[in-house]
Structure 1
């Protein structure tokens, strides 16, 4: 099934079930008012939401309406926790090689992960608002999974059973603020503003054979100013699958229902497929030409992030945003 949230009903939106073709929806009235409340009681709400989804896709759902993406908030407008990994090591390897540094052996056995911003997520059509272009505005096209309650010290096998939904995220980064923050030895803060989520989240079974080994096996397609930018394969070169990432996050603490776990920027060894963030493209250019030639995002620039099935139909709906100046 596919789930989203309308921009109504307060900060947490109103939960809706969305048709498989993303054209119609119905409110989850009487089942769960919000996405978070559905996840809090997932074992009871999921079967009822599935039944509503079946009725909607069969054309029998009472109260169904035409879906307008502009009316959507993020599926989870705010969450208790968002932790973001860096599971695609080709990106890490290239970045470090560009500055003459080796990749520590531990990176291949122990995931990189940081605590990201979760107090609010941008909707799929909300602008990326930034005070200054000098911050080095970048997109990061990633896959994200959403869990129910995960017990502390869950194994990766156990963690896999707690992955309930899958979606996309534009994990916005302000690249020129990152070096100064990392130099302090205390992680990201100002360099990581709010991220945007795809119009809908989907259950793993909705992905069919594109969901295997707790990975999404489809290309991540990105466009900048309506020009193709990349289509890196999500299922290739992912050092740690989502079950391993969830288990890593839960090693010393339980995860609350509604926790988001990000994959990190999708990146492949094969750079002919383009990139999923500007920093990656700039690194490739630096290694090839000695300096980057692709600029970071400017005010007025547009971006699009999407994943389509084998027939070309969008699965999660596209994230489409424009970069704007803070007023």
Structure 2
């Protein structure tokens, strides 16, 4: 069977393509290679992780190109990971989020509906929990008080997906990712930002005076969850489900920095700052629903998963970051 992966040159996307191909799936990808961060990293990532995957340069808002791709490839299943990411950037460039995360998502939903796709798995985010949820975040909690436009678009995706499942019986599964990290990760996120800065001897900004906790989840655990969800579409009358994919063990930001310092072999220069608009103080996933549905069992603590990230940064960016 053929699986179409959107955002295939992205961090989770490239690892997902590699895992699908490794188990014998026919995989086709698409990515627009935008410049939210250096596109060179995306191309190098593809070359390192999934060089044999056919990845087309297509934007989610290009309906004609998407239709042509679906007609050519005729995917049986779709893993939709493409999106405009980033909480803070959504304060600066809201239209990028509307185009990619709303217009682009409708385009994918429509094509999956009309082309008979058997299962659509899409990326949501732990950011949807916003101000209304209490850790550990469970899928039954409210998600109607987002702290950023990015979070609002992801919550909207879940509503849109539910509607298509209800109206057209399209099997759709949403995955709320919790702070994913690993080699070849996104350079705008704390694992790479901090690792590169510590290696280079540059100061790092530590927000909320360091009083932050994150449910850091290794990319290998996330990809196992993506494949598990893909293999288990809902059999309910309205075939839409949402799952948390996290490590269910929040880590203090100061401990996170300590692990990086130990791996880098040098201390961090920390600049303490107040809370940033749109950020959340603590994230923690309740993953029982994913465990019960497809055996999701994240097994990588940051003490094991973070040092290889620091080493990868040293090899890819050099000691000067």
Q: What TM-score, normalized to structure 1?
A: 0.32
Whichever structure has more helix as a proportion of its residues is 2
The higher-RCO structure (CA 8 Å, 6+ apart) is 1
